A and B are shown apart, each in its own frame.
Chain A
């Protein structure tokens, strides 16, 4: 199907309103939360880097970022006396830092010490207490959606991630936004298919899921109509994560307020590079994407939006023999938003030195992500203790005064 046809398809599908949830635009000022999951354990220590520590430079002879120096475009950008930001984020995230709209939480993570990608990703997505038996059908974002009642969740991924599984209410929709989104069912066929599912004998949830699936796609198609007009005029569209992130900004401005997206490619065991190279390219793309998201969501919605960037764990503090890093522990999480009290490093910290490493290997975790995210959503959505306890059972919200 051509793009023009997709546009027509979007128009034709517009009247197909179902169950009512996804289609009321968020009320002005209503809160929005986007969780960005960097899968593969990004090397936080080279993105938000402890450049004030001599040990950092000793431990990473080939990877470390240079101390801030206005004359050196490859040097870290100054955050505070201890920390510097990767130069690949100069035009994207650093302006947000200067506008005090991004805070970094170093020494963040989980108590999960397995150093297994899968296990620790699950730990984070489930958000359940460590050590108990896990319920693999109950993710914390789904519980948050339940606790919020009428809100509009969506996963921008090719399947519903674990964190959004197990909602009590309607199933959480998912849609992958990368690349060309045409190729779906045409509107005539969509109407015919929905008609087949309107039979009273069909499971009600299935009928709703079918209607919602088409509705989400039509919403997305409508929302991206401007982008397609631009494309038809020959404008160059961004690629990769930046394209997805801009689309997410557009959709969260108008349609959804509780969202998830994951970004892979962070497992840098070999040749990860320093100020330039593989990791610099990845982080540059992430930064451009997030800045594009801020631009697309627009200043008004941005004021009530929080973006939290997490990863399953940090990496070994010392570089390995392959000019890369291995699986570690503590990470740096990002909290961004128009109302975030940013421009600062937040949460408990220790001096980075050989003797303060966890197991002489990696950074310790001083801020548990359940408490961090719990404290955030408590403030942002005004969740009472009971409802917060549904989302993160037994976790104590950490009051970092971020919002």
Chain B
């Protein structure tokens, strides 16, 4: 706690800055930015003010997957997952695992297995860290949010089998480049990625040994939505179409009969093996798909992506993510119509959403999920000063039950507020607010070294607060903030406030 004299000094600063804000220009669109980015801060307000909101949004919708600011990009570049291609990582780790298991001496084997598990854990941590650095600092904030959205939509869980070696690539190569592109491309990119094929067991799906797991989730979760009119028979037929679509770690193609060799498809670890495929004709969504090999999958994906049910389901998911529970039906209908008309152009659908009056009306009212809560707190507290260690952030997400790549079931994390507003959840948030608000919580302590933590103290009571955020506070919150006994406590209270829980 501050001594009384310091307390007076702090209060004096408040008054000075507050009076300064009276001369500021129109308030920054902080509510809008809180929704479209991973959290408002001074830098993004400067950016949007300079460009104008409409141009800034258009640029966000079109921005390519760009590098990070240098300090953050350097951290990302130093990672093993950035230096080695995924294919190589998976094969190396598989070899390490086999070598460990082949040891006959129990102690040697334990040592080797421990080393393997440590390396696997590190690959996962790198993927989490790279993703968080992008959420915190990428100029293309909308793309990063959409990358998280699509990951959750096409969820895989890192803990299953060897997915830890693949999950960074799945996000970086399959989802992120297509996050604002065509839905059809995204759907196929996930289908061709070994992380998805492993996670939903399609690498076990072969003629005579049908595994319906992935086929069902494509229809139920990834595209049309449960209860949208497809039948159990459609699921079974899609499973037949997907036979032979799998993963192969071996460098060479399998030996195949001559007539099958031209039908073999290989790209990295992805494989379509005609020897495992059911070549019978299929009846899928009212169409006959002739047995022909991987071309059947392309035809099936075309049908799925063009289905009105898919347009509606994706529109509903996007509207829920960006406006909150039970989005207005008229808005969802307009988005679905745009999805249909534009051949599934995600940016076009988002443009309809983000410029709509319904979106404007929802600002400030959506409860942040844990990822939004924690990331927006760090963005607000430290702006563009790049953290040296994302582990605390990662840990907070786990504590709140929304750890990156941690959702076990294919339905992804819940988007409804009720999933995140439980008593234990709120209490955990306040503790995290306390960690962030009263110091730097280890975010500026470099990993793995004896280096001391670099001095860092969050400055949430800054010009941005006085110029804009302050005006969004309820009288209750405003009154409580004046009772803070120190700047640290002020930070804790602000990060605990109802206003900061919403976006």
Chain B at the A interface: SS class: helix
B281 at the interface (CB under 8 A from A): no
Residues of B within 8 A of A118 (CB): 157, 160, 408-409
B427 at the interface (CB under 8 A from A): yes
B455 at the interface (CB under 8 A from A): no
Verify A172–B498 contact, CB threshold 8 A: no
Interface range on chain B: under 10, 10 to 19, 20 to 34, or 35 or more? 35 or more
Verify A158–B423 contact, CB threshold 8 A: no
Verify A213–B423 contact, CB threshold 8 A: yes
Which of A185, A198, A212 has the most chain B CB within a 10 Å cutoff?
A: A185
A262 at the interface (CB under 8 A from B): no
Asked, given contacts A199-B498, A206-B498, A271-B106, whether A192 binds B493 with beta carbons under 8 Å apart, the answer is: yes
Asked, given contacts A159-B401, A205-B421, whether A122 binds B497 with beta carbons under 8 Å apart, the answer is: no
Residues of B within 8 A of A193 (CB): 430, 480, 493, 496-497
Q: How many residues of A contact B (CB 8 A)?
A: 44
Asked, given contacts A122-B409, A185-B434, A189-B489, whether A195 binds B426 with beta carbons under 8 Å apart, the answer is: no
Verify A213–B424 contact, CB threshold 8 A: yes
Residue of B nearest to A210 (CB): B426
Residue of B nearest to A199 (CB): B476
Q: B303 → chain A, closest Cβ, in Å?
A: 23
Residues of A within 8 A of B421 (CB): 171, 203, 205-206, 209
B414 at the interface (CB under 8 A from A): yes
Residue of B nearest to A206 (CB): B421
A174 at the interface (CB under 8 A from B): yes
- Could you tell me the distance between the alpha carbons of A318 and B418 in the complex, rounded to whole angstroms? 45
Verify A213–B426 contact, CB threshold 8 A: yes
Residue of B nearest to A207 (CB): B498
Which of B423, B485, B496 has the most chain A CB within a 10 Å cutoff?
A: B423
Verify B492–A174 contact, CB threshold 8 A: no
Verify B480–A174 contact, CB threshold 8 A: no
- Could you tell me the distance between the alpha carbons of A136 and B106 in the complex, rounded to whole angstroms? 42
A214 at the interface (CB under 8 A from B): yes
Asked, given contacts A159-B401, A189-B492, A193-B493, whether A216 binds B423 with beta carbons under 8 Å apart, the answer is: yes
Which residues of chain B from 383 to 424 have a CB within 8 Å of any chain A CB? 399-401, 408-409, 411, 414, 418-419, 421-424
- Could you tell me the distance between the alpha carbons of A213 and B408 in the complex, rounded to whole angstroms? 26
Residues of A within 8 A of B479 (CB): 195
Verify A183–B431 contact, CB threshold 8 A: yes
A217 at the interface (CB under 8 A from B): yes
Residue of A nearest to B414 (CB): A137
Verify A185–B431 contact, CB threshold 8 A: yes
B471 at the interface (CB under 8 A from A): no
Residues of B within 8 A of A188 (CB): 485
Which residues of chain B from 453 to 502 have a CB within 8 Å of any chain A CB? 474-477, 479-480, 483-485, 489, 492-493, 496-498, 501
Which of A122, A210, A271 has the most chain B CB within a 10 Å cutoff?
A: A210
A245-280 CB contact bits vs B (8 Å, 1 = yes)?
000000000000000000000000011000000000
A160 at the interface (CB under 8 A from B): yes
Could you tell me which B residues sit within 8 Å of A by CB distance? Answer: 101, 106, 110, 113, 157, 160, 226, 367, 399-401, 408-409, 411, 414, 418-419, 421-427, 430-431, 434, 474-477, 479-480, 483-485, 489, 492-493, 496-498, 501
Q: Could you list 7 further interchain pairs (A-B, Cβ under 8 angstroms) beyond the known A175-B427, A199-B498?
A: A118-B160, A174-B423, A184-B427, A197-B498, A203-B421, A205-B418, A213-B423
Closest 7 CB pairs of A and B: A213-B427, A174-B424, A159-B401, A213-B423, A212-B423, A173-B423, A171-B422
11 contacts between A and B (CB under 8 A): A122-B409, A136-B411, A171-B422, A173-B423, A174-B425, A188-B485, A189-B489, A189-B492, A209-B426, A216-B423, A322-B101
